[in-house]
């Protein structure tokens, strides 16, 4: 399951989204309204801790992810191998902890297909995802 | 800007001077925190040539957790034999020292007191490292802390983002630690007195990828003190400013610069009536080596994306165009939390008075920058030698 949503909140004044939902907009102090956001986004940055705090396994992989719509959230991951700043990831909530996983080419293609299907633009989406897959594949060899 | 508030009007700020400065050697110390603070306090009072001030301000970040003692305003004024003097304790996480300085400055500038003794100290080396990290980590947003985010973890994320954005290299970041150790070797008050090589820094063990052990400041004990006064003295407080940002890193739009530093710098420069071009020497908050590079750019001392290269080329060395952290910085002079910001002011005071010994640089204007938490509550201080 790669495409679902996560609970969020939105500021009625500036439309800023935050995850998890917060009572007040960080920028305006305005009361926020409940919303939901797609669970896919890009890695903003990540690190691996080799002496994590008590109660966490070592090594501990932590990423800051920006979801579509702009909300950022911290996640744990199984590994950071192959992860880069800008990598496409999906985020899942497992027992109230967010986990990110790198979206492979097949996942991205399926996601484009599903979204395009709703809009009836399958052909365009397939070619777009193929091109993106090629570009990502080519750049993944870089350090 | 959102909820920025009105910019302060500085026309009515009266002149405030530093008449006394003193500090303990930073490092592993056996004395109690009140004893360390007393050592710094008497050094500053002696330097100022007074027996007692009109009031005390004590900066301390986590004395309850580190030492088990509380009520620090009263504990310290009583310990100093000054129990009848007004005393209060100020805290803005790891920048508590300059927060205390600001409080004392405001009291003198407002005419509430003529002489205020500003103190800062921390004692933590008696605890195990994981315990110290956990206590310091309480200054991180509670939700984000549930993910195991420690200060080094957040600094690791920020360092990677800065390397990605500006092409900053690990070599450039490592040179900050090398430079600061070189400076500390000339500072008898420093925690570390030995130089380190670039190779040793780059090959030290990984703490929070890409940050390595020698990119991180040590756990130090120590205290520092200044006497602020309304009468003319050799060093004047030219400007001081505070800047803040969300404690939640996920609410920030940029990881590679600190709004809290930028806002604090703007306020301090505005009060001083001059900009970064007049700064001759700086003491910066290199809790993690990459923070010195980010801070140089946030403060307008170097153009964006250029500070790493400038560091590698020696521009920030003792004999460089802009000496940065002649004391040895947090990395090598040490970082006893609330002592740090005041220790920076003490070092600048000595530099501006020509009393910095083997690490003396030519300077009329000095800048100190202190980062509270993960840049949630920062301070910038500008000191100027009296003409």
- Does A137 score more than 60 pLDDT? no
- Does A1 score more than 50 pLDDT? no
pLDDT value for A81: 84
What sign does the dihedral B140-B144-B145-B148 (CA atoms) show?
negative
User: Strands, DSSP E only, in A14-113?
Assistant: 17-18, 33-38, 40-49, 60-67, 72-77, 88-94, 97-102
pLDDT value for A143: 36
**Mean pLDDT value across residues B248-272:** 97
Predicted-complex ipTM score:
0.92
- Domain coordinates in residue numbering, chain A: 5-103
Closest residue to B156, CB basis, from A20, A26, A47: A47
**Could you give the C-alpha distances from B206 to B179, B331, B383, in angstroms and in order?**
20, 16, 37
B205 in contact with A, Cβ within 8 Å: yes
User: Comparing A17-31, A117-131, B121-135, which segment has the lowest mean pLDDT?
Assistant: A117-131
Mean pLDDT of chain B: 96
| Band (B3; pLDDT cuts 50, 70, 90) | very low
Per the CB < 8 A criterion, the answer to whether B123 and B32 are in contact is: yes
H-run or E-run covering B200: helix B198-203
**Mean pLDDT value across residues A125-141:** 46
Is there a contact between A64 and B249 if contact means CB atoms under 8 Å apart? Answer: yes
Beta bridge partners of B118: B57, B226
**The domain A5-103 is classified under which CATH number: 2.40.50.840, 1.20.1530.20, 3.90.1170.50, 1.10.3720.10?**
2.40.50.840
Which of 329-358 (B) contact A at CB < 8 A? none
| Chain A residue whose CA is closest to B160 | A45
| Band (A33; pLDDT cuts 50, 70, 90) | very high
Choose among A140, A44, A76, A136: nearest CA to B160: A44
User: What does DSSP say about strands B235-244 and A88-94: parallel, antiparallel, or unpaired?
Assistant: unpaired
pLDDT value for B303: 97
| Chain B residue whose CA is closest to A44 | B161
**pLDDT (tens digit per residue) in B43-99:** 999 999 999 999 999 999 999 999 999 999 999 999 999 999 999 999 999 999 999
Q: Find the distance separating the first CA and the last CA of chain B, reported in whole Å.
A: 38
**pLDDT (tens digit per residue) in A93-106:** 999 999 999 877 66
**pLDDT (tens digit per residue) in B201-223:** 999 999 999 999 999 999 999 99
Closest residue to A74, CB basis, from B147, B206, B210: B147
Question: Phi and psi of A101, rounded to 5°?
Answer: -140, 140
B64 in contact with A, Cβ within 8 Å: no
Q: Tell me which of B153, B213, B219, B246 to substitute to probe the interface with A (most A C-beta atoms closer than 10 Å).
A: B153
| Band (A51; pLDDT cuts 50, 70, 90) | confident
pLDDT value for A2: 52
Measured distance CA(B246)–CA(B244) in Å, rounded:
7
| Band (A141; pLDDT cuts 50, 70, 90) | very low
- Does A129 score more than 90 pLDDT? no
User: Strands, DSSP E only, in chain B?
Assistant: 17-23, 55-59, 87-90, 115-122, 206-208, 211-212, 222-229, 235-244, 281-283, 365-370, 377-385
What sign does the dihedral B38-B57-B374-B380 (CA atoms) show?
negative
The CA distance from B52 to the nearest CA of chain A, in Å, is 44
Per the CB < 8 A criterion, the answer to whether B379 and B341 are in contact is: yes
pLDDT value for B387: 74
């Amino acid at each position: 399951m790669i495409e679902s949503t996560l609970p969020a909140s939105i500021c009625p004044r500036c439309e800023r989204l935050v995850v998890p939902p917060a009572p007040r907009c960080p920028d305006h102090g305005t009361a926020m309204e409940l919303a939901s956001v797609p669970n896919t986004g890009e890695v903003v940055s990540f690190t691996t801790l080799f002496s994590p705090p008590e109660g966490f396994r070592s090594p501990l992989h932590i990423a800051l992810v920006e979801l579509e719509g702009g909300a950022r959230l911290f996640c744990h991951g199984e590994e950071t191998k192959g992860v880069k700043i800008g990598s496409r990831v999906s985020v899942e909530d497992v027992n109230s902890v967010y986990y990110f996983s790198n979206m492979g080419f097949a996942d991205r293609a399926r996601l484009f297909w599903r979204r395009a299907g709703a809009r009836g633009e399958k052909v365009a989406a397939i070619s777009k995802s193929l091109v993106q897959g090629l570009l990502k594949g080519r750049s993944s060899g870089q350090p | 800007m959102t909820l920025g508030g009105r910019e302060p009007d500085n026309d009515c700020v009266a002149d405030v001077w530093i008449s006394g400065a003193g500090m303990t050697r930073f490092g592993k110390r056996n004395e109690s925190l009140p004893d360390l603070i007393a050592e710094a306090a008497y050094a500053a009072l002696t330097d100022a040539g007074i027996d007692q001030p009109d009031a005390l301000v004590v900066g301390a970040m986590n004395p309850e957790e580190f030492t088990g003692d509380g009520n620090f305003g009263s504990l310290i004024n009583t310990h100093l034999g000054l129990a009848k003097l007004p005393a209060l304790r100020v805290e803005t996480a790891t920048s508590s020292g300059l927060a205390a300085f600001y409080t004392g400055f405001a009291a003198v500038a407002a005419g509430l007191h003529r002489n205020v003794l500003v103190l800062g100290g921390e004692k933590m080396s008696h605890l195990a490292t994981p315990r110290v990290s956990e206590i310091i980590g309480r200054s991180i947003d509670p939700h984000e802390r549930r993910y195991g985010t420690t200060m080094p973890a957040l600094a690791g994320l920020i360092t990677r983002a800065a390397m990605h954005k500006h092409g900053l290299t690990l070599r450039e970041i490592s040179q900050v630690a090398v430079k600061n150790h070189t400076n500390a070797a000339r500072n008898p008050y420093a925690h570390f007195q030995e130089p380190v090589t670039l190779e040793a820094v780059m090959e030290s063990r990984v703490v929070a990828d890409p940050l390595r052990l020698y990119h991180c400041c040590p756990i130090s004990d120590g205290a520092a003190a200044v006497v602020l006064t309304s009468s003319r003295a050799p060093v004047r407080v030219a400007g001081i400013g505070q800047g803040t940002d969300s404690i939640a890193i996920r609410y920030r739009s940029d990881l590679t610069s600190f709004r809290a530093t930028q806002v604090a710098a703007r306020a301090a420069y505005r009060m001083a009536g001059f900009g970064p071009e007049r700064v001759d020497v700086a003491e910066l908050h290199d809790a993690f080596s990459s923070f010195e590079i980010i801070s140089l750019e946030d403060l307008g001392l170097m153009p964006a994306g250029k500070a790493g290269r400038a560091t590698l080329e020696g521009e920030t060395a003792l004999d460089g165009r802009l000496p940065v952290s002649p004391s040895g910085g947090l990395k090598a002079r040490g970082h006893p939390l609330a002592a740090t910001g005041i220790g920076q002011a003490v070092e600048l005071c000595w530099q501006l008075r020509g009393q910095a010994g083997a690490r003396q640089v030519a300077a009329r204007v000095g800048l100190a920058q202190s980062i509270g938490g993960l840049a949630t509550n920062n301070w910038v201080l500008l000191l100027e030698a009296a003409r």
